[in-house]
Structure 1
């Protein structure tokens, strides 16, 4: 795991200095000298990072910063997950904006294989270092804060492992997780000494994800003091919402229902009864174009003028500025059940040069759109699908209508599309493609249902269909890991 190998003592000392600098104005000249000329000793480095509550908080903030990396949840991870599906057409053959992923030609040497792997493990290692540090320095912060920070680190670790196992491991539903997954690293590393590690099974990785999420739910606060923090840091509802995605991916529909009921009221209008009052906004455009911190946005990566993801990792750049991909006229854009009157079509698409583009990420210079990682609309659709799968068609339809009619109040689902469980599930899958377009969920929806990734193409560029039995169905382990991990 090359990216973790570089986390040497010297690197972590530099990082410690960086995180401490905002608080340096109050330091004496003696303290300043210590900062600028640190002793390169790992034990002293650990003590330095955990010797004040402010520095511990800096480490916690750092795990979210690691998640926000442009090659991870700051942009590229979502983009690669969507363009593998059938709803986007590549225009540039640019390998730096996902052409290999779009065309299903990812190899162990491809940038698309290596970028997400390395940045995921970097974020996981940052979370592990906090978990280890809080145990080693139990008086660094109050018991209450320690429990919260530990929960936040476990949430981030679970989120990143889910991204890894769903990209580089076979779907859990294929064989109940018996296939090889990814190395399960649960200790913080500052040297390459423990780099050799075999892959855990998919089931083992999921078990750890759920363990982390259950413990995170127990330790996370119900709410923070501002809407910004409620959107950008994990709280109880964040962990619960994410569990609905994890259980849905595993095909454990009863567990999806159990978790969803914690944050979805019994009747419409649906909202979370405890903690942050997560709910849909009246206007679907609000969370994307007006206010990134509404209660619909359960968890997002924030952007500011001085702290953005720019260039080829930016979703706004890829979809709406450099126009690397247009929406496929034969994909969800052309589905007859998505009429032109739907607010998602009028707000989130635009036509230029005779083709249609996604403009859900609308701020291009600078790219200030928050990156949505969990929205309440997804929770309702996760719950809707699970309810249909477990026989509660009435609840499933009510949840489905809450999402659809928010954007198209006049739309009426044909009876044939919702009258049976099978028909209803397929209708929900279509709704997911419309509602969550460009939010990084299409690949996982195809794979968790063991569906063939459809062929697509236009203008001379094409990509073949990929069946669940083909090696291209998942990403290969990157060369950086193969060359440095003898047990992989």
Structure 2
């Protein structure tokens, strides 16, 4: 598990700088407390730097702009299956999509800070700065490969947020700067094309996967909180799928399904398995970020608190999504969407939430209070085996031909694991399977985990929140251009943050269209 080892004055200063400095992703001190000027010179330094790298993926309690919260709800509420509950919520800006370049949400500084931490590890090994590397060669090589995967993950996230989907123009438009070396405070990188970023992301991933250095878990949970061989391959299937490399996505996913120790949760395990204290939790969870206390950047700004009724109750499922999921009474996935629990106030009158939603399931419970009694303490799911099955099915149905049989097999495997009473109406066959059906199962399975918006954009789907008062559901009033849109809508990608534009004249000339 990730251990907090760095609560230091240096880190406090560094994190304060996250909001006050421009280009701060180039030179801030890492969260492990090792100053940037101090080299990583031994195995213990490298291991400490690795902890800081992983911890940075969340952000922190003030700047939760990465996996602590924003990366999840960005991918959820911008689409059609989740929404901000009301105006003024933390998720409202991403949901309403009315922002300008001056007030747009950002997912920039923290990710680039993580990249810098990964680069420090990579460069220390490449430059042979680790003096006891020969003694700890296996461990150092593993850390090095993990840093490559993390660097790939973060660049991939950034290019999804700030660049057009690869499938829209084969990556010809601008993506983000790819940073693979330590940079000075005066460095002013320009944006690479989306294709260029994907090429380097895939190189980092394939280098790590093919190196033989990553730990290859034989039992689930052996590397909980860290990236192992299987998690790296799972990420690679995702990247291949986004790029449209369907043959590679399928073959990589098949290797995981056939050879890894991970198994799908069964129907009777599904609801409880989300609690990290469950004995079945790690069975399907290939990579997650660990939270051991509310100071692990999992406080009231964390996604668990935002999605919980007793937290901020910030975002809910849409009426259209709930109706779709409830159409199959045998689907256990409805069990992680809770109705209002606090139905009456202390005067015996219905609460406002109960007045509005009644007994309808609205709150995602993938970050449950569980046995620890606090949603802030749940881990953050990044890669699950169910996604690998869905990646395989989607890739296979897109390839077509004889591969359709694989699509049928992998989709049915997932459907069976999510059905309490399977019947012929649930499963698919070669004649009935379609891309739309695969994507529908993807929506049901991955809701609340930050996928739907990106899936819709890369597949050129139209997002429909509502079109009239007849189907407005639980949505509150939105601008017309945010009620229904596709990937040609300029706000489908974020503007480069104004602080970066002001500090970097190269990027200032490369702002996204419409801003």
* TM tier, smaller: 0.7 to 0.9
1:461 aligns with 2:477: yes
Moved more, 347-356 or 478-487: 347-356
Distance 1:418 1:448, change over 3 A: farther
Distance 1:368 1:5, change over 3 A: same
CA RMSD, 1 decimal: 2.6
Distance 1:366 1:240, change over 3 A: closer
Residue 52 of structure 1 and its aligned partner are, at CA, apart by 3.1
Match of 2:390 in 1: 381
Q: Residue 192 of structure 1: SS of its match in structure 2? A: coil
Match of 2:410 in 1: 399
Asked if structure 1 preserves the Cα contact closer than 8 Å seen for 2:241 and 2:249, the reply is yes
1:241 aligns with 2:234: yes
Match of 1:367 in 2: 376
Distance 1:79 1:292, change over 3 A: farther
Match of 1:344 in 2: 333
Distance 1:313 1:140, change over 3 A: farther
Match of 2:42 in 1: 52
Asked if structure 2 preserves the Cα contact closer than 8 Å seen for 1:308 and 1:367, the reply is no
Moved more, 130-139 or 469-478: 130-139
Q: State the distance in 2 between where 1:117 and 1:259 align.
A: 30
Residue 341 of structure 1 and its aligned partner are, at CA, apart by 3.4
Deviations 1:178-200, CA, capped at 9 Å, x for gaps: 001011111123x4121x11100
Which ranges in structure 1 are unaligned for 5 or more consecutive residues? 20-39, 266-272
Instruction: With the length of structure 1 as denominator, give the TM-score of the two structures.
Output: 0.84
Residue 279 of structure 1 and its aligned partner are, at CA, apart by 1.4
Match of 2:264 in 1: 280
Distance 1:357 1:236, change over 3 A: same
Q: State the distance in 1 between where 2:232 and 2:143 align.
A: 14
Distance 1:467 1:329, change over 3 A: same
1:487 aligns with 2:510: no
Q: Residue 480 of structure 1: SS of its match in structure 2? A: helix
1:261 aligns with 2:271: no
Distance 1:233 1:124, change over 3 A: same
Instruction: With the length of structure 2 as denominator, give the TM-score of the two structures.
Output: 0.80
1:335 aligns with 2:329: no
Distance 1:108 1:140, change over 3 A: farther
Match of 2:297 in 1: 309
Distance 1:406 1:3, change over 3 A: farther
Q: Choose from 442, 446, 457 the match for 1:447.
A: 457
Residue 459 of structure 1 and its aligned partner are, at CA, apart by 5.7
Residue 144 of structure 1 and its aligned partner are, at CA, apart by 2.2
Residue 380 of structure 1 and its aligned partner are, at CA, apart by 0.4
Asked if structure 2 preserves the Cα contact closer than 8 Å seen for 1:75 and 1:371, the reply is no
Residue 420 of structure 1 and its aligned partner are, at CA, apart by 4.2
Q: State the distance in 1 between where 2:435 and 2:26 align.
A: 49
Residue 449 of structure 1 and its aligned partner are, at CA, apart by 0.4
Q: State the distance in 2 between where 1:416 and 1:8 align.
A: 51
Asked if structure 2 preserves the Cα contact closer than 8 Å seen for 1:300 and 1:374, the reply is yes
Deviations 1:219-246, CA, capped at 9 Å, x for gaps: 3433359855523111111111111111
Q: State the distance in 1 between where 2:84 and 2:504 align.
A: 34
Deviations 1:189-214, CA, capped at 9 Å, x for gaps: 3x4121x1110000000001100000
